[in-house]
Amino acid sequence: MSQQKKNIRLLITWLLLVAVTSFVYFSQGPSERVNVPRDLFSLTDPSAIDRIRLSSATAENTLKFSNTVWKVNDLYKADPQRVTVLFAILKQNRARRKVAKNRQGTVDSLMASNGIDVVFYRGAEEVKKFRVASSEDGNLSYFQQGPGENYVVEIPGYRVNLAGIFELDENGWRDPLVFDINWANLQEVNLSYPGRAAGQFDVIYDGRSLQIRQLAEADTAKLTELLDKISLLHVSEYLDAKEIEEYPGYPAPIQAIVTVRDITGNFYTVEFFEQGTDQQEILGRIDSTGYAVFEFNQVRRILRPKRYFEVKEE
State the average pLDDT for the chain: 87
Domain boundary among 173, 200, 232: 173
Residues 204 and 83 in one domain: no
Contacts of 103 (CB under 8 A, 6+ apart): 150
Is 180 among the domain residues?
Answer: no
Residues 138 and 238 in one domain: no
Domain boundary among 114, 148, 173: 173
Give the best-scoring range by mean pLDDT among 20-34, 196-210, 298-312.
298-312
Is 72 among the domain residues?
Answer: yes
Is 314 among the domain residues?
Answer: no
Is 276 among the domain residues?
Answer: yes
Residues 155 and 257 in one domain: no
Bridge partners for 24 per DSSP? none
Residues 214 and 121 in one domain: no
Contacts of 167 (CB under 8 A, 6+ apart): 56, 116, 134
Is 181 among the domain residues?
Answer: no
Expressed as residue numbers, the domain containing 268 is 186-309
From 32-36, 263-267, 283-287, the region with the lowest mean pLDDT: 32-36
**Cα 201 from Cα 21, distance rounded (Å):** 76
Domain boundary among 123, 150, 173: 173
Which one has a higher pLDDT value, 182 or 21? Answer: 182
Residues 67 and 146 in one domain: yes
Residues 25 and 126 in one domain: no
User: Of 71, 90, 87, which is closest to residue 79 (Cα–Cα)?
Assistant: 71
Task: Report the pLDDT averaged over residues 195-209.
Answer: 88
User: pLDDT tens, 225-238?
Assistant: 999 999 999 999 99
Which one has a higher pLDDT value, 29 or 203? Answer: 203
Residues 148 and 43 in one domain: yes
Is 117 among the domain residues?
Answer: yes
Residues 77 and 101 in one domain: yes
Please determine, for residue 27, whether its predicted confidence score (pLDDT) is greater than 50: no
